[in-house]
Structure 1
């Protein structure tokens, strides 16, 4: 399956790949000129032409591979093989050049053609790969020269710098494309949600609102239906105005997921922006809050509940508070001893398994208040 960086599967660093292809072609032409100029001075001119021919074949082959639009066709193993082949061809220089040429200023048989490798490795693997390729080619240059001179050191620094800069450019291009794709996805989802919201507002929500008002006017059993219609109206409004955001990194928006729990008896307060957590963590935290709301509905049917979400620098804090009668001292311990493990397993167990903490403040006629703290960086995914 191809990796999608934006609306298409085109690799964002494609211009860098094409630059590497062009650079390889130009540097091969320079190597051709160097061989023509020094043909009579080589100790093995025939081998020089063979190596130049291999360089030409490899230039064509790499160009065909790197010209593909999708990143999946620029195989990792082929890029590594490219590094090996180029260094291998350069190491034939001691067999072609005489000792005076090796120790002088005469170029190696591959000349600046080898500079293409840090470019393509940095484009494929990022800055670390580009630096590593520059170090390898620099070391191979010293071996081919059979000496470590100031010129060799200078070439090595330039090769490392080239791989570093190209690698950083490729990484930045891919991250920018991924961010842009995420922004496009959110914009498209928001537009679709607004379209649905307008349609629902013109039909379903108006009907529910009218049923709620009329039922409250009539009273009796109709009032109960009105209350249910009101709850469904609130839930539907939250559904069409809130989207649990998902990202390419496997994260979802905890804020949006909690706002879907709002009803006539449950009020949710959250930050304005997304609160992104790993999808599993978000699902578990929402399940904990649902369990708390279920306990309120079961043991204090007429109580109101407030859910507060706070996004702090190092952790996320969720507070669930109600104005019910509260829990008497020792009631939870007694329930656990009797085998009723709903709170212990469904709430405490979930939070502790994720690496967070959960605490309870309650008492007779004081309501209940759960506080859940979940670290951002150390959450167990």
Structure 2
């Protein structure tokens, strides 16, 4: 499956892959020079040339694989195989160099060519993978040397540091590309929304405003149509002026979702910035608020006003839905549940409970109804 990091499927860490390819080629040339200089001192020079040839073939093969633009072609199993092959070639050094040469720290047959492996593994798997690859190559160096010396430890630290730095750079490149892609999508959505808003304002909204004014002037049934046109005008204005609800990481903006519920009788107050929550949590909370507003229409009358307040407290989000209706008589909710009307019990309280939150009711005769819904934001993160 193609893994998209931005508007295209190009791997953001591609420059690091190409840097690793260049490192392989340069270090192989260094290994070639080392073999030419030391071949007369080898115990088995023929094996040295065979291993050098295998290194050349593997350098070409890894270059072909790692030069592909899409990440899916840089197979995980191949990168692990790269680590195994490189360490295997390095472990042939005891058969090529005599023990005295190993003790005097003459270059191993692979020399610095092995440094390309932590770079490749770090680029593919991130900082943790790069550190692990550096540690494995460092341990293989100690085995090939048949001793653990200060120089071997120094080489191991450098390999681990290389894998860590390259891995962190690759991870940062991918995260930056994902953030840039999200910003690009948001900008595109904003541009399209602005275009639609201008078009709607020049046509639909003006017609609705004219119908509302003219109907109010005529009175009678026309006044009722004017009221409906006014509600649709408010809802449409909220739709075209609300920021896109999509955010990064599969979240949705609860603020924007609630603002779409505004009408001539419903006012929504929310923070200036986004309130991102898991998309499912946002959907459920919006449904709870919609059910509360539906109850206002049904029980408080068509003239009742409602207010929705959203607060982002950092760890929790709190939604308050208040109306100026007659209030809910004591025992009315219990009686409704006993009669099978489960709007409040299931649609509201059940949804909030499933989200790990709480819902409380403050009401009384002639003082309206107020619902307070509190849901932890951390739970919405863990639900992914």
Q: Same fold (TM over 0.5)?
A: yes
Aligned to 1:350: 351
Contact map agreement 2:190 2:244 (CA 8 A) in 1: no
Alignment of 1:22-41 (within 5 A): 22-41=22-41
- Compute the RMSD of aligned alpha carbons: 1.1
Aligned to 2:251: 251
Query: CA–CA distance in 1 between the matches of 2:271 and 2:194?
Result: 21
Describe the superposition over 1:172-227 as per-residue Cα deviations: whole angstroms up to 9, x where unpaired. Answer: 11111111111111111111111111111011100100111111111111111111
Contact map agreement 1:5 1:11 (CA 8 A) in 2: yes
Contact map agreement 2:189 2:244 (CA 8 A) in 1: no
Describe the superposition over 1:252-293 as per-residue Cα deviations: whole angstroms up to 9, x where unpaired. Answer: 111111111110001111111111111111111111111001
Query: CA–CA distance in 2 between the matches of 1:327 and 1:265?
Result: 19
Aligned to 1:313: 314
Aligned to 1:121: 121
Contact map agreement 1:291 1:347 (CA 8 A) in 2: yes
Describe the superposition over 1:312-350 as per-residue Cα deviations: whole angstroms up to 9, x where unpaired. Answer: 211111111111111112211222222221111101111
Task: Give the match's secondary structure for 1:236.
Answer: helix
Aligned to 2:13: 13
Question: CA offset at residue 248 of structure 1?
Answer: 4.5
Task: Give the match's secondary structure for 2:348.
Answer: helix
Aligned to 1:58: 58
After the TM superposition, which parts of structure 1 deviate over 4 Å for at least 4 consecutive aligned residues?
none
TM-score, normalised by the number of residues in structure 1: 0.98
Question: CA offset at residue 58 of structure 1?
Answer: 0.5
Query: CA–CA distance in 2 between the matches of 1:72 and 1:336?
Result: 55
Alignment length (residue pairs): 381
Query: CA–CA distance in 2 between the matches of 1:146 and 1:135?
Result: 16
Aligned to 1:70: 70
Alignment of 1:166-315 (within 5 A): 166-301=166-301, 302-315=303-316
Query: CA–CA distance in 2 between the matches of 1:318 and 1:95?
Result: 74
Query: CA–CA distance in 2 between the matches of 1:41 and 1:245?
Result: 70
Query: CA–CA distance in 1 between the matches of 2:191 and 2:9?
Result: 23
Query: CA–CA distance in 1 between the matches of 2:371 and 2:71?
Result: 49
Query: CA–CA distance in 2 between the matches of 1:358 and 1:287?
Result: 14
Contact map agreement 1:243 1:257 (CA 8 A) in 2: no
TM-score, normalised by the number of residues in structure 2: 0.97
Question: CA offset at residue 244 of structure 1?
Answer: 3.7
Structure 1: runs of 5 or more not aligned: none
Task: Give the match's secondary structure for 2:379.
Answer: coil
Structure 2: runs of 5 or more not aligned: none
